[in-house]
Amino acid sequence: MIVPLEHVLILAAILFVLGLVGVLAWRSNIIMMLIGIEVMLNAAMLVFVGGAARWNVDGQIFALMIMAMTSAEVSLALALVVYLQRRKKTVNADAFNEMRG
């Protein structure tokens, strides 16, 4: 490895914290929450790739699977955002506080 594994883990932890802060603080905009989730998943991918560079190739496989999972998650979540915005005319997460079957 070109750098120690701890430095990769520190970078991934910083990215994860930034994504977590984005998700927890931006409750007024669902799209910004989804951006925070993307950042957190990228931090997890960075950990897997760093582990792959330290041990063997399997971490890269799991990074690819995280990417496929993210594409499915984002397509569903954005369809949900479009649906909710059509119903309530807003993207504020606090506005969606009721359920209807």
Partner 1 sequence: MEQTLFYILAVVTVIGTIFAITEKHPVHAIVYLVTSFFALAVIFYLLAAPVVAVFEVIIYAGAIMVLFLFVIMMLDLGHPERAWRPHLREWWPALLLGGIILGAIVTLATGARTTSKAIPPVSVREFSRVLFQNYGVAVEVISMQLLFAVVGALYLGKRRKTNPSQPPLVSGGDKPFLPPDKGGPRGVI
Write b or e for each residue in 79-97: b if 16 or more Cβ atoms lie within 10 A of its Cβ, otherwise e.
eebeebeeeeeebeeeeee
Least Å from the CB of residue 44 to partner 1:
12
The Cα–Cα gap between 58 and 74 comes to: 24
Told to check if 44 binds partner 1 by CB under 8 A, we report no
Tokens of residue 94, six digits: 């606090």
Identified binder of partner 1 from the candidate list 44, 91, 95, 96, rule CB under 8 A:
91
The Cα–Cα gap between 97 and 74 comes to: 22
Told to check if 35 binds partner 1 by CB under 8 A, we report yes
Residues near partner 1 (CB under 8 A): 1-11, 13-29, 31-32, 34-36, 38-39, 42, 45-46, 49-50, 52-54, 57-58, 60-61, 63-65, 67-76, 78-83, 85-87, 91
